[in-house]
Amino acid sequence: MIDFRPTEENRLVQQSVREFAEAEINPHIREWDAKGEVHREIFNRMADLGLLGAPVHTRWGGSGMDYVSFAMICEELERADTAFRVVQSVHVGLNSLTLMQWGTDEQKTRWLIPQAKGEKLATFGLTEPGVGTDAGNLASTARRDGDSYVLNGQKIWISLADIADQFLVFASVDRSKGHRGVTAFVLERGMKGLSTGTLHGKLGIRAGNTGLINMDDVRVPMENRIGEEGEGFLIAMSAIDQGRFTVAAGNVGLAQACLDASLKYAHERRTFGDEIGKHQLVKQMLAKMVAGIEAGRLLVWRAGFLKNHGVRNTRETSLAKWHATDHAVASALDAIQIHGANGYSNEFPLERYLRNSKAAVIYEGTSQLHTLIQADFALGYREDRPLRCEPLPAEGFERLPASTAAAAGRA
């Protein structure tokens, strides 16, 4: 029997994050978004709730939650505002879970434990001014020099760039090798030659920091390399599987926020003598939102189930991300339509939802890329591995992030 009921732990996590968002974010987010303010203290409060190490094993300072709980955290945070889900995506999904999968025990002790406890804020640097989807063609370089590397290059569109303490970045030790030359490193704020900056003028996610990382002859000790030379592309792809999961879950929450606002308005607004919810074409838009949200949530939970059991989930996570992000944009557009002229005003949250929704169909793989991924799996051009489950450990919920890296025997 397939059981779709969340566990009691899942429900408690969801309830606590919803209450946190309603108390700490919702009363202020309109002002923060309008002013472009980033409030680091909210991240500290998220750490107090254990959210900055939610799916990290308790051995490494985390909360040991399963991936369905992690999805619910992302959904509830983005239901309030995308900027706060982004912290889960970048700090936890892209950085911490990657360190847990690929780092040595010494590296986990040094970097993962402070991140999971929220003592340090972390980010992930892959995208460059000339490199987005083509992640194997990095221009950033890492030159071996004795017992260290010297890194040069620039990363852009990096969430938390100007407020992060630790950076998981990727550079090539040999550009002639393409993706086989890509290598991963941890950089720390304060390293000589490392600087960051903030990007201004964003369409959305204005309450979150987005910027760039500059590396000018940054000397990085050998012990800061994650994995082996040339493993960086595998590491990056495994990280992106985690990031896509958080984006998918969050965008279910964004679509839910659009539905919540639209249902409220459909009862309050009256035309031609009736609530507008009585009008057939308004019902049609609401029904589309409901169907897409329910489908997206199930796709996310299926990917979470596979992650909980250490099963490769690139296909399932890609599908969840593609569906949920496209549906969030569609829901925001329909929600504005339901609100009419009011939807065009920042007196209502719909225009913010629309601005925020557009980013997610671009980052963590564009919708066009996910279209190709799904077609390639269907055509057999990509390997579609069978489901193989292993029992969950009794304590601490040992993470087995299964992804591209599973094929390399590293998960």
Catalytic (active-site) positions: 364
Q: What tokens were used for 251?
A: 């965008």
Cα separation values, 66 from 13, 304, 400, Å: 11, 8, 11
Cα separation values, 354 from 206, 207, 332, 345, Å: 12, 15, 5, 12
SS3 letters across 117-172: CCCCCEEEECCECCECCCCCCCCCEEEEECCEEEEEEEEEEEECCCCCCEEEEEEE
Complete DSSP assignment for 48-85: HTTGGGTTS-GGGTS----HHHHHHHHHHHHHH-HHHH
Write the single-letter amino acid at 139: A
How far, in Å, CA of 61 to CA of 82, rounded?
Answer: 26
Q: Are 397 and 88 a contacting pair, CB within 8 Å?
A: no
Q: What tokens were used for 382?
A: 């990509």
The C-alpha R_g of the chain, in whole angstroms, comes to 21
How far, in Å, CA of 142 to CA of 317, rounded?
Answer: 31
How far, in Å, CA of 289 to CA of 268, rounded?
Answer: 19
Q: Is 331 helix (H, G, I), strand (E, B) or coil?
A: helix
Q: Are 53 and 117 a contacting pair, CB within 8 Å?
A: yes
Could you tell me which residues are beta bridge partners of residue 169? Answer: 125, 185
How far, in Å, CA of 72 to CA of 85, rounded?
Answer: 11
How far, in Å, CA of 215 to CA of 304, rounded?
Answer: 36
Other beta carbons within 10 Å of 264: 11
How far, in Å, CA of 81 to CA of 101, rounded?
Answer: 29
Complete DSSP assignment for 271-320: ETTEEGGGSHHHHHHHHHHHHHHHHHHHHHHHHHHHHHTT---HHHHHHH
